[in-house]
Structures are given as C-alpha cells and as structure tokens.
Structure 1
Amino acid sequence: MQNRVIKLSLFAMLLSLVTSCEVVGDIFKAGMWVGVIIVIAVVGLIIWLISRFRK
C-alpha cells in the first residue's frame, strides 16, 4: 500500500512540473499528427497505470 502511494505521489509531482499551456504550445508547433500521437500515448499510459493499480 505504501509503495502504491509513493508511485502515485511521484506521478502527481511529475504532472505538476509540466504546465498545460507549455504542452499545448509545443504540440501546435510540432504539428497535428505529433499531437495525436502524444494524446494516444498519454491515454494509453493512463489506462495502463489504472490497470496496474487495480490488481
């Protein structure tokens, strides 16, 4: 249980380091397809993390 809390805390800290405006600006500079790939990767990562913590 404590290991799970540590992992979630580290993940929350990582998310707080990246501001959403910076990310959106970089995606628009890189192009639409890069943005689509990033969104798919983030959604996949979230689904994977949720499935790992449910076990």
Structure 2
Amino acid sequence: MKKFTLLSLAVFAMMSLTSCEAIGTIFKAGMWWAFFLIAAVIGLILWLFTRGKN
C-alpha cells in the first residue's frame, strides 16, 4: 500500500510539473537531504570521539 501511495504521488508530481520544474524540485530535495545527512554524520563522529575519551 505504501509503495502505491508513493507511486501515485510521483505520477501526480510528474503530471503537474513541467520537466524542468520536476528536476529542479528533485535536486532541491536532494540537496537538503545531503546537508541533513552530512550534519548527522559529523554529529555522530563527534559524539563517538567525545564518548571514547571518558
């Protein structure tokens, strides 16, 4: 059921946006996910280093 919902949202986005807008939206979302993941990895590394010193 979840896969169908994701597929239907993707199809709706493709139909409502032009190709350039859709690609731009995908890259913007990817950029924010990359920032979030980089910050999470750096935070995890710092947490592990400070935990190891105790």
TM-score scaled by structure 1?
0.52
Structure 1: which amino acid aligns with 2:40?
F
Shift >3 Å, 4+ stretches: none
The one of 15, 29, 39 equivalent to 1:52 is 39
**Structure possessing the higher radius of gyration over alpha carbons:** 2
Partner of 1:43: 30
RMSD: 1.8
Identity %: 3
TM-score scaled by structure 2?
0.53
The unaligned stretches of length 5 or more in structure 1 are 1-17
**Aligned positions of 1:1-40 closer than 5 A:** 19-40=6-27
Structure 2: which amino acid aligns with 1:48?
F
TM-superposition CA deviations, 1:29-50 (whole Å, max 9, x none)? 2210110101101110111111
Choose between structure 1 and 2 for higher RCO, CA contacts under 8 A separated by at least 6 residues.
Answer: 1
SS at 1:50's partner residue?
helix
